[in-house]
Amino acid sequence: MAFKLRSNNIGSIPLHNNGGGSFKKSPFSNVKTPLFAIDPTKKEKEKEKTDSEYEEIGRNVTTRKGEQDGVKGTFTDTSITERMDFDDFIPVATQGPQATNVPKYLETLKNKYPGVPGSVLVEQGFIGPEFEDQFPLDYDQRDRLETSFDPDPEVPRENPYTAYDTSFNTAMDFGNSGTSRMVNNEEEAFKVIQRARGGRELAEKYSGKGERGLDASQTSSLTGSAGLIDADRNNYQAETARVRGIKNQEDYAAGQDYGRAYVTEMIKAERDALRQRYRGQENRVEYDKEAQALQEKGKNYFSLVNSGKFATPEMQERFESSYDDIYNQEQPEIDPAELKGLNRAQIFNAKRNFRGGGRTGRVKPTSNVTVDTRFLDR
């Protein structure tokens, strides 16, 4: 805050208390303090308080991590404290009659020069030093906050996958179709996901219509058989799809069919180690005993694999660590009772034609998306 003082040739005329309760002329002047010089009826000059009139007296800067419009980055918050900078000319008190109503005189000064400290009024001759503390410095102060955002630098995406295992199966009446292949191209893998998502959107057109077997019939050109079909003969809602990102192709390939190749690999490695340990020894009794135990172990492991289980938890973990599920859209699990007594080929067909599709003319149950990482969307 700045107060510019203005002087003239008349001189200062301070109001002075001599300590006896009366107010007399200052001993430094023969001129009386004027009352008319600060006429309270005079209209005060209005000040426009714009940002340029504020003077910064302090600031505090803090940062925080956050997100703006889906973009991660850093917010910088600057808290600024400002005061109004009064750039006024304070005149010297002019000649006039001695003030008689001191409280009114002091109040008039406060109204005339709001915020002006007593030291300035003493210096300019409006009051004596004994009244200085009645005019404390009054600031027009404010706090404001400025916030800026800097997005984090874009980090190139590292692709942990060397290939993608993709599969897609339709569920059309009178004939299903499907594909399953390993691809190295991200775009090719993403096409499978796009097709699956698009099918779900198409299924919305037919939602709620249910089975309309009595409304239409169709003859299969392949089998010559006839059957009733539903309104959505493509069964979009029942299509299945899967995309896996392969991190270790060798482990992934060996882990197929519940790790059958893992078991073969393990038995072969243990057999070679057993032969090496007993190489050159004449007594074969212990060797034959351990070889028989290894053979029995292999039978037990393959029996677990044939039943649809991994032979050991370590083998299952090895296989599951070799890939990530990026997208998976599958039908609900079939009741195990419906698969009892079926061989592997029959089980596959039962799951594929579960409750409809093919020549049944019925709608298969809606598939559920259990995984969608959106990894390939980027």
Residue 45 inside a domain? The answer is no
- Do the domain assignments include residue 271? yes
- Check: CB of residue 101 under 8 Å from CB of residue 92: no
Q: What is the pLDDT of residues 189-201, one digit of tens each?
A: 999 999 999 888 8
Residue 46 lies in a domain: no
Highest mean pLDDT among 48-57, 118-127, 146-155, 232-241: 146-155
Strand-pair category, 54-68 with 71-84: antiparallel
Start-to-end Cα distance in the chain: 56
- Examine the domain organization and report whether 186 and 221 are in the same domain: yes
Confidence of residue 358 (pLDDT cuts 50, 70, 90): low
Neighbour-count burial for 125-149, b at 16+ CB within 10 Å, e otherwise: bbbbeebbeebeeeebeeeeeeeee
Q: Which range is least confidently modeled, 253-262, 348-357, 364-373? A: 348-357
C-alpha 38/C-alpha 107 separation (Å) is 11
Question: Quick one: 189 and 211 in the same domain?
Answer: yes
Contact 39, 96 (CB under 8 A): no
Looking at the fold, whether 190 and 338 belong to one and the same domain comes out as yes
Per-residue CA distances from 12 to 27, 65, 114, 127, 305 (Å): 11, 60, 20, 10, 110
Same-domain check for residues 328 and 310:
no
DSSP secondary structure letters along 19-35: SSS-EEE-TT-SSPPPS
- Interval 70-97: pLDDT, tens: 899 999 999 998 877 655 677 777 766 7
Q: Where does a domain end: 318, 346, 362?
A: 318
For residue 221, pLDDT over 50 is answered with no
Q: Is residue 239 in some structural domain? A: yes
Greater confidence (226 vs 104) lies with 104
Tokens of 205: 């057109």
Q: State the residue range of the domain holding 327.
A: 161-247+322-378
- Is residue 68 situated within a structural domain? yes
Are 193 and 341 within one domain?
yes
Label residue 142 by pLDDT band (50, 70, 90). Answer: confident
Q: 27: burial class by Cβ within 10 Å (0-12, 13-18, 19+)?
A: exposed
Sequence-separated (6 or more) residues with CB below 8 Å from residue 107: none
Helix (H) or strand (E) holding 193: helix 186-206
Residue type, 339: L
Domain identity same for 33 and 144: yes
Q: Which of 318, 336, 353 is the last residue in one of the domains?
A: 318
User: Beta strands 163-169 and 240-246: pairing type?
Assistant: antiparallel
> In angstroms, rounded to a whole number, what is the distance separating the alpha carbons of residues 12 and 94?
7
Assign 349 a pLDDT band (cuts: 50, 70, 90).
confident
- The sign one gets for the Cα dihedral 26, 29, 32, 35 is negative
| 44 occurs within a structural domain | no
Tell me the two tokens of residue 43.
């209209």
Whether residue 231 sits in one domain with residue 171:
yes
- pTM, 2 dp: 0.53
Residues 6 and 61 both lie in one domain: yes
Alpha-carbon distance values, 222 to 49, 83, 345 (Å): 88, 89, 21
Report yes or no on 103 lying in a domain. yes
Tell me the sheet residues that pair with 102: none
Q: Are 198 and 326 found together in one domain?
A: yes
- Residues 264, 282, single domain; the answer is yes
226, pLDDT greater than 50: no
- Residue from 323, 367, 327, 352 nearest 191 by CA: 327
**Dist CA 112 CA 92 (whole Å):** 14
- Together in a domain, 107 and 11: yes
Please report whether residue 283 resides in a domain: yes
What does each C-alpha distance from 371 to 17, 247, 330 come to in angstroms? Answer: 90, 18, 10
**Strand (E) positions, the chain?**
2-5, 15-17, 23-25, 54-68, 71-84, 87-90, 141-151, 163-169, 178-183, 217-219, 226-228, 240-246, 323-330, 368-372
The number of domains in the chain is 3
pLDDT in tens, 284-311: 898 999 999 999 999 999 999 999 999 9
Last residue of one domain, picked from the residues 151, 169, 190 = 151
One domain for residues 215 and 308: no
Q: What is the distance between the alpha carbons of residues 344 and 330, in angstroms, rounded to a whole number?
A: 19
Yes or no: say if 205 and 237 are a contact pair by the CB < 8 Å rule: no
